[in-house]
Amino acid sequence: MRLFYSPTSPFVRKVMVAAKLRGLAERIELIPCNPHESPPALLAANPLSKVPAMETPDAGALVDSLVICEYLDTLGDAPRLIPEAGLARVAVLQAHAIADGILDAAVARRGLSLQPVDDARRAQDARLAGAISRALAWFEARPLPEAMDLAAVTLGCALGYLDFRFGHEPWRPVHPRLADWFQGVSALPAFRETAPIA
C-alpha cells in the first residue's frame, strides 16, 4: 500500500493511527506530497487533490480517510475499528461523523487564518468555531468511546489538531470529561507515534 501524506494533516494521522492499531503500519509506504500544489502522482490517485489517498494492490486508489480506514478493516486479524453491521456500525459512524466534522471545520479555520482579515472571513471563522464548540459539547454530554473504534480514533485526532493549531483557544476547562478521556488516548503508542510536529 502507498499512502500520499502530508505530515501535519489530521486526516492522514487518522489513517496512520488506524493502521498502527490494526498492526498494518509496516505495510504502508509513505509518499510525501503537498496537496495544495496538486502534484500529478497525487491527482492520479485522487482527482480532488487531497491527502490522504492510498494506492492499494487490490482495490485501486482510495479516498477519503473513512474509505481508507474501511479498507484497512478488511486486512489482518486485529479487531475491526468499524463494526461490520447493524446499530453498532451506525453508532460508530455517527460519532465518527461528528468528530470528522470538527476536523473539517478546524482545517477550514486554519486555511482561513492564512487569508487577509475582513468581515467575510470573520463571519465564516465564527460560524466554523461555533460548529466546533457545539460538536465538543455533543461529545462532552455523552458516554465517551471505551474501545478504540474509528469514532475514538477520529475524536483523538480532532482534539490533537485543536491543541496543535488552536492551542491559544483552550477547550479543556469547559470539557473536563473530554480532557480526561483525551489524556488516556494521547498516551497510547499509536497516538504518541503520530503526534504532529510544528
Ligand X SMILES: N[C@@H](CCC(=O)N[C@@H](CS)C(=O)NCC(=O)O)C(=O)O
Tell me how far CA of residue 182 lies from CA of 8, 9, 83, 185, 192, in angstroms.
19, 19, 22, 5, 12
Residue the block writes with cell 483557544: 169
Question: Least distance to ligand X from the beta carbon of 170, Å?
Answer: 22
User: Contacting ligand X (CB under 6 A), which of 9, 18, 72, 148?
Assistant: 9
20-43: buried (b, 16+ CB within 10 Å) or exposed (e) per residue?
bbbebbeebeebebebeeeeeebe
Question: Least distance to ligand X from the beta carbon of 138, Å?
Answer: 19
Find out whether 157 and 186 touch, Cβ atoms under 8 Å.
no
Of residues 101-120, which lie at the interface with ligand X (CB under 6 A)?
A: 107
Of residues 44-63, which lie at the interface with ligand X (CB under 6 A)?
A: 49-52
User: Contacting ligand X (CB under 6 A), which of 17, 45, 64, 185?
Assistant: 64
* Interface pattern 24-43 for ligand X (x via CB under 6 A): -----------xx-------
> Which residues of this chain interact with ligand X, rule CB under 6 A?
9, 11, 35-36, 49-52, 64-66, 107
